[in-house]
Structure 1
């Protein structure tokens, strides 16, 4: 019985020896080093923090939502730290120097973007890449994801605006005495950055901020991205059509008063302008804190169109004043005529008392002539005034948004 037991024991030993010899070096390495507790910080002195080096790579800017105040971007982080428990002797594993290990098997810092929108803010909630461990105990982790972060957006100079958005990278529950995160550069790495069709990347910067929460210090790395809107599309599709239509209003004053088409032309231009404004309004940022200067410009152009229609109605009423009994327009025409350089006859007084004693036929004919001359002069003066106001406000708008 003892001999049979001895034979069985020898067979088992021989089979295990053969299996151990056929096992790959990296597999044996994983069996030896991955039995650690992933919740224990990898430091021999518990009074010292784990030093984690951080670099942020900006891959692309997907979208900037002005209405919601958010920025969507694609990033990945380069995180490096030392874990003494993961070091090994390369001679025992056929000269193996690096190995990828499962993410869930080792300790990792609780990194997250503090201003990210959504419940899954940590870098663990993503299609992460498993860390790479070197024989020295250095752990290299490159997690990446598409993020949607808050961004304070100032659209005052839309569509020629510049924005500064910040990515706040910090820790969730580990204070600075447990985990210390340091950046290795003063700029965001844009080596793999893909240019956006809507936004131009101007500059990046990195700052360190420390906040006190529950009597514990939490350092936050602020990665700032300065971008500028590419305005060529908006100039061709939003700004330029409005600018051209605004100057169409001035052509209403060029049309002769005898044509009978002045009001029709004014209303057609105004309705076209109003329909276009309703379409453009859906694409403008809706903000009451930072009112876009372009919205003010659109309101001014609308008011200018209303004033054009109103002035043309009044001028046509003066021009077609065929009834001498309209004393209000008569007094207005005789009062304004000298100011417009229209001379009055010596035997015709501009006062109401004198004009009443004139013969009816002579008074009516002379009054109609004065009203028509005044209307023509007013049409010219109003045209120049509207043009001057339009030029002044348009010049002021472009000067404001480009300074």
Structure 2
């Protein structure tokens, strides 16, 4: 029986193609359009090149049409219902991918076609396509893309070939999951467009591939390192001013973020839309630049020296009194609950005065010549001792003035150092809050 069917198959093939030509459109009525049904199955996403805006995909393309010259009676050929022959034997519609971006213009694979007894031809062919895709990276790495695959006849207009979509969506049954992209859907839509070159309408079927990027890789390799590095920037304010590493830390963090910024820029297309992660990098780098500049300004205040002017009264009240308590900035010897009391500003008795003796401060000396043997009495008796006593008084007064000036300069320097320390602590918490808010905003896009 099988041998008989084989002989009938050869006879059927010989009879079908005896007077057949695959160069003409197989329609009995040339005024009527030939219906071609298209169905696309997405098998795999091979690559998504964001920089060149090219989507490479592996598709299974099925085209179904009726050839009026390739039908037969099954009873005449031992009940043969269908045959499979090379696709080059029959006429095929010139359905092409309109937005093809392949430089070699490779089409579908030359597979066999299935011909039924009623003339219906089914052509299933796999194809690796490279299509142009408009990429919007504004929300990278939490972005989604819409890539279109537009199929239509290249030479036949709508009056000759009517292209139809078999289903409202592309087939995703055999799709192999991609590690970077998640496919949300693949709706299909039939369009009829009249181009400027021709007056006839040209139908096409457009499949819109909805993709969503899996952001886990970019979160752990680009985003989290940047967040951790950016949290180091406010700690530069916590370093002691005498360590000499405050500015170095800010510059090091800035260089590290620049490296991550270059990595993102290499993979993104050179468009005007800045990626979300790029905006985060730029904002963080701007913040670190501002923190480094403020660090230099605060270090200048810290090292102002003894020749600086006294701290203004408003700064003493606002910074040294209120802000120092808020940010728990105390000097050595001060208590966090009760600050060190200020020295008694009551006036001291001048050197050599004959009045009542007041308490002597560390920078002042009190000299009473009455207690010196032969002091005032000796001055009355001889001018030599009086001249020696005046010289001693001048020397002691000079030393006392030096101690007084040194103490005042030391006090001014200490006040300016405390002002710098309070400002360091204030800006540290301000920049910590800024880094935290920016990190929450960028992470919120992943939800």
Distance (whole Å) between structure 2 residues aligned to residue 233 and residue 113 of structure 1: 32
What's 1:158 paired with? Answer: 140
Greater mean alpha carbon deviation, residues 285-294 or residues 197-206: 285-294
Partners in 2 of 1:139 and 1:272 — Cα distance? 62
- Does 111-120 or 363-372 show the bigger shift? 111-120
Asked if 1 retains the 8 angstrom alpha-carbon contact of 2:5 and 2:78, the reply is: no
Greater CA deviation, 165-174 or 299-308?
299-308
Match of 1:337 in 2: 316
Instruction: Give the match for residue 288 of structure 1.
Output: 271
Sort the Cα spacing of 1:279 and 1:68 in 2 relative to 1 into closer, same or farther, 3 A: closer
Q: Compute the displacement of 1:290 (Å).
A: 2.2
Indicate whether 1:265 and 2:249 are aligned: yes
Residues 40, 61 of structure 2: 8 Å contact kept: yes
Q: Deviations over 1:116-169 (max 9, x none)?
A: 1136657xx332312110111110101221000011111111001111111001
Distance 2:156 2:31 in 1: 13
Q: How much does 1:259 deviate?
A: 3.6
Out of 118, 130, 133, the position equivalent to 2:112 is 130
Equivalent residue, structure 2, for 1:388 = 433
Aligned residues: 365
Q: Given the alignment of the two structures, is residue 139 of structure 1 paired with residue 121 of structure 2, yes or no?
A: yes
Write the distance in 2 (CA, Å) between the matches of 1:46 and 1:346: 115
Q: Larger C-alpha radius of gyration, 1 or 2? A: 2
Inter-CA distance 159–291: structure 2 relative to 1 (3 Å threshold): same
Q: Output the CA distance in 2 between the equivalents of 1:209 and 1:128.
A: 28
Root-mean-square deviation over aligned CA pairs = 2.5
Mean Cα deviation higher: 290-299 or 360-369: 360-369
Match of 2:34 in 1: 50
Contact residue 113 and residue 121 of structure 1 kept, 8 A: no
SS at match of 1:363: helix
* Aligned-residue offset at 1:342: 3.4
Whole-angstrom CA distance in 1 between matches of 2:343 and 2:206: 80
* Cα deviation 1:67-95 (Å, max 9, x = unaligned): 11111101111111111211112233222
Alignment check: 8 A CA contact 1:112 1:121 kept: no
- Structure 1 stretches lacking a partner, 5+ long: 1-20, 348-357
Residues 1:85 and 2:69 are matched in the alignment: yes
Displacement of 1:186: 0.7
Quote the Cα distance in structure 1 between the aligned partners of 2:257 and 2:86.
Answer: 62
Query: Counterparts of 2:76 and 2:406 in 1: how far apart (Å)?
Result: 125
Alpha-carbon displacement from aligned partner over 1:323-373 (angstroms, at most 9, x marks no partner): 31x45xx56x665333314389997xxxxxxxxxx9643431221011011
Q: Hey, what does 2:280 align to over in structure 1?
A: 297
Residue pairs, 1:306-321, within 5 angstroms: 306-321=289-304
- TM-superposed deviation, 1:225: 0.8
Q: SS at the partner of 2:136?
A: coil
TM-score, length-normalised on structure 1? 0.84
1:37 aligns to what SS in structure 2? coil
Question: What pairs with 1:148-297 in structure 2 (closer than 5 Å)?
Answer: 148-213=130-195, 214-283=198-267, 285-297=268-280
The answer to whether the 8 A contact 1:128-1:142 is kept is: no
Given that 2:40 and 2:171 are in contact with CA atoms closer than 8 Å, whether structure 1 keeps it comes out as yes
Shift of 1:64: 1.0
Asked if the contact 1:342–1:374 (Cα under 8 Å) also holds between the matched residues in 2, the reply is: no
1:398 matched to 2:443? yes
| CA distance, structure 1, for counterparts of residue 21 and residue 116 of structure 2 | 19
C-alpha displacement of 1:253: 2.0
**Distance in 1, Cα, partners of 2:129 & 2:281:** 35
Of 410, 414, 427, the residue aligned with 1:365 is 410
Q: State how far apart, in whole Å, the 2-side matches of 1:322 and 1:106 are.
A: 96
Distance in 2 separating the partners of 1:224 and 1:345: 80
Is the 1:198–1:229 contact (alpha carbons within 8 Å) kept by the matching residues of 2?
yes
Helix, strand or coil at the partner of 1:92? helix
Alignment correspondent of 1:11:
none
CA distance in 2, matches of 1:276, 1:49: 57
CA distance in 1, matches of 2:294, 2:119: 83
Counting only pairs closer than 5 Å after superposition, residues 103-122 of structure 1 correspond to structure 2 as 103-118=87-102, 121=105
Which SS does the other structure have where 2:186 is aligned? strand
TM-score (norm 2): 0.76
SS at match of 2:253: helix
Q: Is 1:163–1:227's contact at 8 Å kept on the other side of the alignment? A: yes
